[in-house]
Amino acid sequence: MNDAQLSEQRNNLVDQAAQATDHAIRATQRVANDALDGLAGSVQGVRHDVAPMLDRAGERASALAQRGVSALRETSRDVRDGAVRVGDRTALYVKDEPLKAILIAAASGAALMALVGLLTRSRNRA
């Protein structure tokens, strides 16, 4: 074989290799595109399935928060009503038994002052 034939044969091999490479690249692109399309479809399916669940979870959380607020309001009202009743009973007791009420208040104040004095002394020692 002469140089021209070898050069032509080499060019043919290079062209064939380039074509084979081009076909492999296109096939790889098709496979990748198909895989991405399938993945996109799966993501859409998951999104479609999950969206109602998230909506229900949000509704449940909202209902739970609403119940908590209602329970807090009711408890607050009960505590306030209880405090009013205790205040009323205390006022009636002071009105009915003024001397006893003064003695109880004095004893409570003395006990509280003794406790504060005891706590203050123990902190000063430390």
Which residue range is the domain that position 26 belongs to?
3-125
Q: In this predicted model, what pLDDT tens digit does every residue of 30-61 receive, in sequence order?
A: 888 888 877 877 777 777 777 888 888 888 88
Those residues with Cβ within 8 angstroms of residue 1's Cβ, 6 or more apart along the chain or in another chain: 9
Full-model pTM: 0.42
Tokens (6 digits) for 102 = 């003064």
Q: What are phi and psi of 14, to 5 degrees?
A: -65, -45
Low-confidence residues of the chain: pLDDT under 70: 1, 125-126
The tally of domains found in the chain comes to 1
Residue 106: closest CA among 114, 116, 117, 96: 114
